[in-house]
Amino acid sequence: MNFSVLRKSLGVLFVLCSAALYANTATVVSAVGKVEVSRNNVWVALTENEVVREGEVISTGFKSEAIIKYKGSVMKLGPLTRITLEKLATSDTKDDVSVFLNTGAVRSTVNHSENKRVSYTVRNPIAVASVRGTEFIFAGNEIRCFDGAVAVVPARLVNPVRDLGISKPADREYESEGNVKDNLPAEGSSTPFTSSSDINPALPKGVLVSAGQSTNFSDSTSARPSKPITAGSTARNDFSKGVASLADSEGVNISGLESNISSSSSGSASGTMPGNVIVNIEWEE
């Protein structure tokens, strides 16, 4: 046996395995209050600088928050939020992130890393939001964009296995239908004339939400996003009202999210899916 060749082969295998492991992990930048991850059906406390992996479920408690970073992108979880890291992958050309929002609110800041393009998607049972170099909040049935643009599509029109390349969707009700589509966003910056297909060519045509605009899925029957509304300079503060606290009427100040969660709107939990909690938020006029 040629031991020299064997050692080289094992070395290459080790490097490849290490690269794959690194590609499927993200880092907890901050954890305040009760922040946990589900591992082997056991909830384990998360602390700053710990690693979370693709497929894991992360949850925050009341008056708690977490900031998670993958490559150049950051997701900020408000109180009473639960997400599943459906996809964390990287290649020579792009970083690919898909998050399932079980309940609560997540604010995402999407940035390029190492001159790569980024495919970043957040979805829940109602909607799928795909972005290109942007900052936005996804909470319950409302999506608000602060920078760049977000393509919003009804969840019923999207197969996460085929369209997003997710091998194990959190809702686990989909099977592969042919080849996985390329969801790599087109290059360039987003403008009011950008189409939703430019943001994610793998998704059906959706509603484009630009900076300063929001959309919601108030009609649960049709599950179609509303026409984007321009909220003006007060968007960041107004949208945060009533998002995160479903437990009681106390205000929660979320550091880093630039939002002051209050009780100006009331939240109500309704609807069921196996293993999921769906939150529908009614917004006051």
Task: With beta carbons less than 8 A apart as the criterion, state whether 138 and 129 touch.
Answer: yes
Structural fold of domain 27-281: Jelly Rolls (2.60.120)
Each domain of the chain, given as residue ranges in start order, spans: 27-281
The pLDDT profile of the chain, 285 residues, written as one tens digit per residue, is 555 544 554 454 444 444 443 458 999 999 999 999 999 899 999 999 999 999 999 999 999 999 999 988 999 999 999 999 999 998 888 888 999 999 999 999 998 766 777 889 999 988 999 887 789 999 988 999 998 888 888 888 888 888 888 888 887 655 444 444 444 444 555 555 455 556 666 676 778 888 888 888 765 454 556 667 665 444 444 444 434 333 333 333 334 444 433 333 333 334 434 444 444 444 444
DSSP string, 105-152: EEEEE----TT-EEEEEEE-SSEEEEEEEEEEEEETTEEEEEEEEEEE
Tokens 């997701």, located at residue = 75
Distance in angstroms (rounded) separating the CA atoms of residues 226 and 223: 9
Exposure b/e, 263-272, CB count within 10 A at least 16 = b: eeeebeeeee
Q: Residue 73 in contact with residue 109, Cβ under 8 Å? A: yes
- The pTM for the full model equals 0.68
3-state secondary structure of 11: helix
